[in-house]
Amino acid sequence: MSDDPLPPPPTPAPGRPTVRTAAVIPAAGRGVRLGPGAPKALRALGGTPMLVHAVRAMADSRAVSLVVVVAPPDGAGEVRSLLDTHALHGGPPSGSRGSTDVLVVPGGESRQESVKLGLDALPPGYDIVLVHDAARPLVPVDTVDAVVEAVRDGAPAVVPALPLADTVKQVEPAAAPGGPEPVVATPDRSVLRAVQTPQGFDRATLVRAHETVTDDVTDDASMVERLGLTVVTVPGHEEAFKVTRPLDLVLAEAVLARRRLNDGF
Ligand code: CTP
Ligand code: MG
């Protein structure tokens, strides 16, 4: 035995300082397009609330050590107790995936506002932030890790993206829903991508984007684009689809059933 003092602290790989990653999960939406019922994030998928699946999907990544859940404005208490009653990490109890802290904060009227409230609640010490829709409960961990990796590699903003299956038309929107709409153009599909979440950011960049951009947007990366910064894509995954309409719930149940079969449940 040598008489060395304490073992040295773990050394990060060269050029790879350890950066801590947090995930903000906006879950404050009502889910109007899904039809009447509980707020979308609280609806069951395979018997477990969609939000719990989404939190697990983030917690399953070794990179993510904190999850901030943005709950419906009047439902933070309910969400807190819901998360307290569900184990966050799947797999065997001895699994070495480590622990993930979870904060719950009340959300706002728009997704943008909810994400901002989640960012405001983020403690210091997290330099990479993922923003992940509660409505994408089945994103595979490899997709999460690929996003984190690209931010670690220096991209200020990263989005998982997939090629489009359908041809897309630009139209002159009809005055009344369902009316005929003249087609204005057919964009070249080969340069279009459908983007998903988690979207990953250098924290300071995302905070600046939320402080600067006030236009209505449907994702966080577009706010970073408005700052004039380059957003890059990594390959998305078909199982990271967003549960939006009733048919998406059918698909999500089927994906989950297939996973459970494959996992030998
Ligand atoms: N979201 C949020 N706060 C809002 C609105 C939306 O945190 N005020 C969240 C949703 O909970 C969801 C994500 O943003 O996880 C993506 O939004 P979307 O799929 O549009 O969900 P909803 O807004 O709930 O659905 P809908 O638009 O059909 O009402
Ligand atoms: Mg919405």
- CA–CA separation, 178 and 173 (whole Å): 10
Report the pLDDT value the prediction gives residue 87, as an integer from 0 to 100: 84
Report the pLDDT value the prediction gives residue 265, as an integer from 0 to 100: 55
In our burial notation (b when 16+ CB lie closer than 10 A, e otherwise), range 23-58 reads: bbbbbbbebeebeeebbbbbbebbeebbbbbbbbbb
Pocket test for ligand 1, best of 24, 25, 40, 130 (most atoms within 8 A of CB): 40
Name, in order, each residue with C-beta under 8 angstroms of 90's C-beta and a sequence gap of 6 or more. Answer: 56, 60
For 207-252, write each residue's pLDDT tens digit: 999 999 988 899 999 999 999 999 999 999 999 999 999 999 999 9
Report the pLDDT value the prediction gives residue 4, as an integer from 0 to 100: 57
- 132 ligand 1 Cβ < 6 A: no
Residue 166 has pLDDT above 50, yes or no: yes
- 216 ligand 1 Cβ < 6 A: no
For 116-152, write each residue's pLDDT tens digit: 999 999 999 999 999 999 999 999 999 999 999 999 9
Alpha helices in 26-127 (DSSP H): 50-59, 76-84, 111-120
For 168-196, write each residue's pLDDT tens digit: 999 999 999 899 999 999 999 999 999 99
The alpha carbon of 29 and the centre of ligand 1 are apart by a number of angstroms equal to 4
If you classify domain 21-263 with CATH, what class do you get?
Answer: alpha beta
Residues around ion ligand 2, judged by CB within 5 A, are: 29
- 119 ligand 1 Cβ < 6 A: no
Per-residue confidence at 11, pLDDT binned at 50, 70, 90?
low
The alpha carbon of 27 and the centre of ligand 1 are apart by a number of angstroms equal to 6
For 31-75, write each residue's pLDDT tens digit: 999 999 999 999 999 999 999 999 999 999 999 999 999 999 999
Give pTM, 2 decimals.
Answer: 0.92
The alpha carbon of 26 and the centre of ligand 2 are apart by a number of angstroms equal to 10
- Mean model confidence pLDDT for the chain: 92
Instruction: Please report which ligand is nearest the Cα atom of 107.
Output: 1
Per-residue confidence at 95, pLDDT binned at 50, 70, 90?
very low
- 111 ligand 1 Cβ < 6 A: yes
Domain ranges of the chain: 21-263
The alpha carbon of 2 and the centre of ligand 1 are apart by a number of angstroms equal to 59
